[in-house]
């Protein structure tokens, strides 16, 4: 696992920024053509890239027992992941080998997958176990008609899926250990927005907008344009300190604890971010639907208290409710507004400056990976 700054080092850097009235900055400016947010050709290349990278599909805790499954669309492909009887997580193309209907939907727990069309039945390992009226299908080799597998692996409490021949290790190449197996999932959901997935991703990669966009939600508790930004491999971490972190100044350095003093947002390349907040953590996957549509999948987990136990459920729900109903809504509206604004043809490109270090890194990495598929 990749080493990242520890709590003490993060606190030291935040205090240094507060005292000097500075923030972490990048060294480069990036100009991204606006066509990248509306071009069908670019969108198709991005879908191809997503299929050829290990991309987070769900947290491991979403598959808590043998037979637990999650079925959804990833990079426009119906996929189902399931924990087998051997406790190994596997992934398959969610399509019956008879007539192609999905064999599972949503989430749940099953002993087998039964296609609702004609009841062809598959085991948790994807093997075809039963064909009703098998005599009507002479020559069909059951061993050759199992569900089509795709690569699945569990790393750092997250299930990653790679659909096609990989072009790189993506986020796995430098993945920090973020989730704890004792964290349990208490909520999940999804929503759609009429905006490009990259515009949604960019909203969580910088703190330059906190005071202006989140003036009545996050800013009363947070700081404007004061961030710690770490780059590791294709990924990044952006740390947003709360004003209350100043209370730690009166505590001996070796006894300071950062929990509840910051929000840490890990950007897992290319389309996922994992936000560690005061009482809960949310894994957010941005699924491109079209150049101008994004489906956002959200999994919410309880954080651990000082004794290593999940925090009170009501605390986690209250934490999640504040984030979901305030700042996230403002970010979504900003992304939708930018997408609409493209029609004004006022810009040939967007300019990302030194305060947007993580976004520059994201686009540089995206550019390099797209070159491998086009």
- 327-344 pLDDT per residue, tens: 899 999 999 999 999 999
Q: Do 128 and 97 meet the contact criterion of CB atoms below 8 Å apart?
A: yes
How much is the pLDDT for 331? Answer: 96
Kindly report the backbone phi and psi dihedral angles of residue 370, in degrees, each rounded to the nearest multiple of 5, phi listed first. Answer: -65, -30
H/E segment holding residue 56:
strand 55-59
User: Residue 57: which of 145, 171, 201 has the closest Cα?
Assistant: 171
Q: Using the Cα atoms of residue 198, residue 200, residue 201 and residue 205 in order, give the sign of their dihedral.
A: positive
3-state secondary structure of 267: strand
Task: Sheet containing 293-302: give its strands across.
Answer: 185-193, 293-302, 280-290, 272-276, 262-268, 235-241, 228-232
Sequential DSSP letters for 167-225: S--GGGGG------TT--EEEEEEEEESS-HHHHHHTTS-STTHHHHTTTTTTTTB-SS
Whether the pLDDT of residue 217 is over 60: the answer is: yes
Whether the pLDDT of residue 323 is over 90: the answer is: no
H/E segment holding residue 68:
strand 68-74
Q: Which two tokens stand for residue 191?
A: 């929503």
Q: Which two tokens stand for residue 280?
A: 């809960």
* 321 Cβ neighbours under 8 A, 6+ residues apart: none
Tens-place pLDDT, residues 340-361: 999 999 999 999 999 999 999 9
User: For the chain, what is the mean pLDDT?
Assistant: 96
pTM over 0.75: yes
Residue 184: CB atoms within 10 A of its CB come to 14
How much is the pLDDT for 153? Answer: 96
Q: Any bridge partners for residue 93, and if so which?
A: 79
Of 6-20, 138-152, 301-315, 319-333, the range with the lowest mean pLDDT is 319-333
Q: What is the CATH number of domain 55-165?
A: 2.102.10.10
Percent of the chain with pLDDT over 90: 96
Using only C-alpha atoms, the chain has a radius of gyration, in whole angstroms, of 22
Q: Any bridge partners for residue 284, and if so which?
A: 273, 298
Average pLDDT of the segment spanning 200-222: 95
Tens-place pLDDT, residues 95-147: 999 999 999 999 999 999 999 999 999 999 999 999 999 999 999 999 999 99
Q: Which two tokens stand for residue 116?
A: 């609702």
Tens-place pLDDT, residues 255-272: 999 999 999 999 999 999
Q: Do 273 and 169 meet the contact criterion of CB atoms below 8 Å apart?
A: no
How much is the pLDDT for 74? Answer: 98
Q: Which two tokens stand for residue 366?
A: 């995206």
Instruction: Tell me which DSSP letter residue 231 carries.
Output: E
Parallel, antiparallel, or unpaired: how do β-strands 185-193 and 113-114 relate? unpaired
How much is the pLDDT for 324? Answer: 81
Whether the pLDDT of residue 51 is over 60: the answer is: yes
Average pLDDT of the segment spanning 186-212: 97
Q: What is the CATH number of domain 7-51+173-370?
A: 3.90.380.10
How much is the pLDDT for 1? Answer: 57
Residues in the chain: 374
Domain ranges for the chain, please list them: 7-51+173-370, 55-165
Confidence of residue 2 (pLDDT cuts 50, 70, 90): confident
How much is the pLDDT for 263? Answer: 96
């Amino acid at each position: 696992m990749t080493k990242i700054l520890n709590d003490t080092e993060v606190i030291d850097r935040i205090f240094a920024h507060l005292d000097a009235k500075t923030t972490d900055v990048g060294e480069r400016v990036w100009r991204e053509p606006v066509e990248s947010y509306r071009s069908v050709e670019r969108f198709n290349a991005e879908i191809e890239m997503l299929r050829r990278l290990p991309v987070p599909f769900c947290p491991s805790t979403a598959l808590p027992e043998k037979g637990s499954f999650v079925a959804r669309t990833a990079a426009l492909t119906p996929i189902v992941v399931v924990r087998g009887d051997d406790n190994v997580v596997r992934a398959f193309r969610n399509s019956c080998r008879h007539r192609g209907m999905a064999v599972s939907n949503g989430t749940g727990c099953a002993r087998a997958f039964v296609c609702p069309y004609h009841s062809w039945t598959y085991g948790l390992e994807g093997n075809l176990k039963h064909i009703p009226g098998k005599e009507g299908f002479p020559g069909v080799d059951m061993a050759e008609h199992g569900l089509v597998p795709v690569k699945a692996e569990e790393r750092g409490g997250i299930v990653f899926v790679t659909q096609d021949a990989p072009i790189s290790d993506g986020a796995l190449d430098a993945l920090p250990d973020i989730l704890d197996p004792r964290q349990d999932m208490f909520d999940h959901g999804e929503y759609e927005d009429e905006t490009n997935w990259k515009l949604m991703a960019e909203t969580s990669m910088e703190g330059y907008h906190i005071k202006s966009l989140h003036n009545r939600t996050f800013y009363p508790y947070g700081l404007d344009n004061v961030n710690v930004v770490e780059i590791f491999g294709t990924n990044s971490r952006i740390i947003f300190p709360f004003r209350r972190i100043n209370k730690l100044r009166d505590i001996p350095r070796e006894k300071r604890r950062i929990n509840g003093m910051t929000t840490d947002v890990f950007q897992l390349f290319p389309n996922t971010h994992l936000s560690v907040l005061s009482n809960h953590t949310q894994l957010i996957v941005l699924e491109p639907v079209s150049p101008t549509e994004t489906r956002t999948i959200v999994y919410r987990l309880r954080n651990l208290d000082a004794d290593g136990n999940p925090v009170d459920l009501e605390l986690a729900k209250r934490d999640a409710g504040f984030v979901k109903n305030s700042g996230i809504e403002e970010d979504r509206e900003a992304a939708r507004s930018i997408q609409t604004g493209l029609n004004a043809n006022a810009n040939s490109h967007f300019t990302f400056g030194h305060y947007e270090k993580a976004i520059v890194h994201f686009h540089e990495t995206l550019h390099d990976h797209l070159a491998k598929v086009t």
